[in-house]
Chains A and B, each alone.
Chain A
């Protein structure tokens, strides 16, 4: 990818379990975002975390950011079958207002 990698590439869990996805990036950033993409559909913005923030919550989502390690994680708690999708992190180059996407994690939540 242009900026970063995500792991795992694929994750399969049972409904009700937590899902954790990790994102590593290459250069200094201002912001990091997480997106969800359902199969064949457009992208939905989930959460934005700024470089001076360490943790952010939105509903069942928890995002952490460690700028010293150039990494972020997305935790989805109490997963549901409807959470089945691909999840991407996106980072900006610190001096440009454009975002580069990670390689993505394909999450499958089994009912």
Chain B
């Protein structure tokens, strides 16, 4: 299965600032997915990122707040913009390299906004 390197692993940020989270995959994958996990909650899909096209956002998530880049088949970034304390969550990227063995997840970015 794929191996994902996600960074930063955690950060504490001031409200009103932005943070960019990076995910690097050790193999080429068509689709990458970004999830948010609020404290004590389940995972919520933010968007799907395909290389060479605009990301597709789920209901409740917009590009201005969560811009995503996907410059090639092994890398993606998610930016959390103009942060507020409500954005404090764990953000995870994932891939489904073979469609057979299930998603592989990055280790997550624990974001605290103060």
Contacts and interface: CB of A to CB of B under 8 A. Distances in A.
Query: Do these two chains really belong together in a complex?
Result: yes
Interface in A1-23: 1-2
A104 to B, nearest CB: 5
A43 interface: yes
Contacts of A103: 41-42
Interface residues of B, number: 24
Contacts, number: 56
Nearest to B48: A98
Given A97-B31, A98-B31, A98-B48, A88 B104 contact: no
Interface of B: 31, 33, 35, 41-45, 48, 58, 92, 94, 96, 99-108, 110
Residue from B33, B58, B103 whose CB has the most chain A CB atoms within 10 Å: B103
A2 B31 contact: no
Contact of A33 (B35, B41, B102, B110): B102
B44 A48 contact: no
A88 B42 contact: yes
A102 B102 contact: no
A101 interface: yes
Given A2-B58, A42-B92, A43-B92, A102 B33 contact: no
Contacts of B41: 103-104
Interface of A: 1-2, 33, 35, 40-43, 45, 47-48, 88, 90, 97-104
Given A43-B92, A45-B102, A48-B101, A99 B45 contact: yes
A2 B92 contact: no
Residue from B100, B102, B105 whose CB has the most chain A CB atoms within 10 Å: B102
Given A2-B58, A88-B43, A102-B42, A42 B99 contact: no
